[in-house]
Chain A
Amino acid sequence: MPVWLREYSWRQTGSAVYLSLPLRGVRVTPANIFCADQYLKVSIPPFLFEAILYAPIDDTNSTAKVGNGIIFFTLYKKEVAMWDSLTLATANKEKLQYLRENAVLKAHEKAKEETKAKKVTKQEHKKYALEATMKLEEAERKRIEDLKEKERQKVTKELALWKKQQKDAEKQKRVQKEGELHQEVEQLKEKKKEKMNKTRIPNEETSETRLKPTKGCHGSYSMFSENLKEEQLPAPRSAATIKINFTSRVFPTALRESRIAEEEEWLRKQAEARRTVSADLSEVEDLKEEEKNPDWLKDKGNKMFATGNYLAAVNAYNLAVRLNNKLPLLYLNRAACHLKLRNLHKAIEDSSKALELLTPPVPHNEHARVKAYVRRGTAFCQLELYAEGLQDYEAALKIDPKNKTIEKDAEKIRHLIRGTMQDS
Chain B
Amino acid sequence: MSSGGPERPQLVAHVQQALNYTLFDCKWVPRSARLLCLGSAARGTGLLQLYELRGGRLALLREIEKAKPIKCGTFGATSLQQRYLATGDFGGNLNIWNLEAPEIPVYSVKGHKEIINSIDGVGGLGIGEGAPEIVTGSRDGTVKVWDPRQKDTPVANMEPVQGESKRDCWTVAFGNAYNQEERVVCAGYDNGDIKLFDLKTMSLRWETNIKNGVCSVEFDRKDVNMNKLVATSLEGKFHVFDMRTQHPTKGFASVSEKAQKSTIWQVRHLPQNRDIFMTSGGAGSLHLWKYEYPAQRSKKDSEGAEMGVAGSVSLLQNVTLSTQPISSLDWSPDKKGLCVCGAFDQTVRVLIVTKLNKV
Contacts and interface: CB of A to CB of B under 8 A. Distances in A.
Interface of A: 144, 148, 151-152, 154-156, 159-160, 162-163, 166, 222, 226, 229, 233-247, 249, 253-258, 260
B160 A245 contact: yes
Given A222-B81, A255-B213, A257-B235, A243 B191 contact: no
6 contacts: A239-B153, A240-B156, A242-B203, A243-B159, A246-B165, A256-B213
Contacts of B91: none
Interface stretch (B97-105, B193-201, B223-231, B277-285): B193-201
Contact of B131 (A236, A254, A255): A236
Contact of B160 (A159, A246, A255): A246
Contact of A156 (B56, B150, B190, B199): B56
Interface of B: 4, 10, 12, 14, 31-33, 53, 55-56, 79, 81, 123, 130-133, 141, 145, 147, 149-150, 153-161, 164-168, 180-181, 189-193, 195, 197, 199, 202-204, 207, 209, 211-213, 234-235, 334-335, 337-338, 352, 354
Which 8 pairs from chain A and chain B are nearest by CB? A254-B213, A254-B190, A236-B147, A237-B155, A240-B202, A249-B191, A236-B150, A255-B192
B156 A155 contact: no
Contact of A241 (B31, B156, B335): B156
A361 to B, nearest CB: 22
A239 B167 CA distance: 23
Nearest to B158: A242
A122 to B, nearest CB: 35
B260 to A, nearest CB: 14
A122 B108 CA distance: 79
Contacts, number: 133
Contact of B195 (A226, A236, A244): A244
Contacts of B32: 166
Given A155-B14, A163-B33, A254 B158 contact: no
A148 B204 contact: no
Given A152-B12, A255-B192, A166 B161 contact: no
A242 B191 contact: no
Contact of A226 (B79, B149, B189): B79
Contacts of B168: 254
Given A244-B195, A257-B235, A162 B335 contact: yes
Contact of A246 (B14, B147, B193): B193
Contacts of A159: 14, 33, 53, 335, 338, 352
Nearest to A219: B81
B160 A238 contact: no
A238 B155 contact: yes
A243 B195 CA distance: 12
Given A255-B191, A257-B211, A245 B79 contact: no
Contacts of A257: 211-212, 234-235
Contacts of A243: 159-161
A233 to B, nearest CB: 6
A143 to B, nearest CB: 10
B158 A244 contact: yes
A270 B107 CA distance: 49
B145 to A, nearest CB: 8
Contacts of A148: 10, 12
Given A159-B335, A236-B131, A241-B158, 11 more contacts: A162-B334, A166-B32, A166-B334, A226-B79, A236-B147, A236-B150, A236-B155, A244-B204, A246-B167, A255-B192, A256-B235
Contacts of A235: 131
A155 B159 contact: no
A388 to B, nearest CB: 33
Contacts of A236: 131, 147, 149-150, 155
